[in-house]
Structure 1
Amino acid sequence: MKMPEKIEPAMFAPCGMNCLVCYKHCYHKRPCAGCLNSDLGKPEHCRKCKIKDCAKEQNLTYCFECPSYPCRQIKLLEKSYNTRYYASLIENSRIVHKQGLTEFLDKQREKYTCPECGGIISIHDGECSECQHKVW
C-alpha cells in the first residue's frame, strides 16, 4: 500500500495510534477506515477494543479529552508500545492536543513513508508494505 498524499484524520485513533501505520492496516487486503469509522474490515482486536468503546461511551473523539487521561487502559497500551515498538501513543496524543491533528499527521507521513518506494512503513515491524524494505 502506498502512502497517501494526505493521511485522513479518521486514521488517528482515540488512543493516540496512527491506524495507517498499523501492520494490520498495511497488509490487510481490505484496509480498515480507522477507529473513528465503522468496524468493517477491522481485525477482531480492533473491533473489540475497550479503549475505543470507552471513548465512544463518553462521547469523546480522543482519550486525551477525558478528565481521567491517562487511564489504566491507556497506560497499559503505552507500556506495550514503548517496550515493543519504541513508540509513545501518549506523546502522539500530546502532540495532537498541542499542535493539532494536521501537523501531527504530516509528520507521521514523513516518518512512515518508505524512502525506497513510497510505501507505508509499519510501526509494528519497521517494514514497507510495498517493497518489504526493512527500515529498522
Structure 2
Amino acid sequence: MKMPREKIDMIMFAPCGINCKVCYKHCYHKKPCAGCLNSDKGKPEHCRKCKIKDCVREKTLSYCLECSEYPCKLIKNLEKSYNKRYQASLMENSEFVRQHGLEIFMERQKEKYTCPKCGGIISIHDGECSECKTKKNR
C-alpha cells in the first residue's frame, strides 16, 4: 500500500495515540482496516476487543487525551509496550496533537513513515515498507 499523496485521513488517529495508517494490519492487507474510530471490519481480534477503544466510546470522547483520567493504567501499559517493542511513544503522539493539532501531527507522520525509495508505508510495528520491503533503521 502506498502512502497517500494527499493528507492522511485524520480518522486514522486512534484514541490511544497511534496512527492506524502505519499499523502493520493497514499496511499489508488488501482489505486494510479503516482505523480504530471506524468499523471493526478488517481489524485483528485484539483491536476489535480493545478496552481503550471501548472506554473512549463509553465516555463519549474521541481521544484518550481528552479524558480527565489520562493517562490511565490502560494507556500506561500500552505506552510501555510500544516504547519497548517499537521505540514509539503513544503518549508523546497525543501530547503533540494536544499542542500542535492533529493535522500537523499527521503531516509529520506522513514524512516519517513514507518509504523514500518507493513511497510505500513503513510499518511502525516492524519498520518494513509495505511495497518494497525495505527495512527502516529505528
Q: Smaller-chain TM-score range?
A: over 0.9
1:26 aligns with 2:27: yes
1:16 aligns with 2:17: yes
User: Alignment partner of 2:79: what SS?
Assistant: helix
2:63 alignment counterpart: 62
1:99 aligns with 2:85: no
**2: distance between equivalents of 1:42 and 1:110?**
25
Give unmatched runs, 5+ long, in structure 2: none
Q: Provide the aligned C-alpha RMSD in A.
A: 0.6
Give unmatched runs, 5+ long, in structure 1: none
How far does residue 40 in structure 1 lie from its aligned partner after superposition? 1.1
Runs of 4+ in structure 1 over 3 Å off: none
**TM-score scaled by length of structure 1:** 0.98
1:85 alignment counterpart: 86
Q: How is 1:39-78 mapped onto 2 (pairs within 5 angstroms)?
A: 39-78=40-79
**2: distance between equivalents of 1:10 and 1:41?**
16
**2: distance between equivalents of 1:37 and 1:24?**
14
How far does residue 29 in structure 1 lie from its aligned partner after superposition? 2.1
Same amino acid, percent of matched pairs: 72
Q: How many residues end up aligned between the 2 structures?
A: 136
User: Alignment partner of 2:27: what SS?
Assistant: helix
1:36 aligns with 2:37: yes
Which is worse superposed, 103-112 or 3-12? 3-12
1:131 alignment counterpart: 132
**2: distance between equivalents of 1:10 and 1:43?**
18
Q: Deviations over 1:25-53 (max 9, x none)?
A: 11122101111111111111111100000
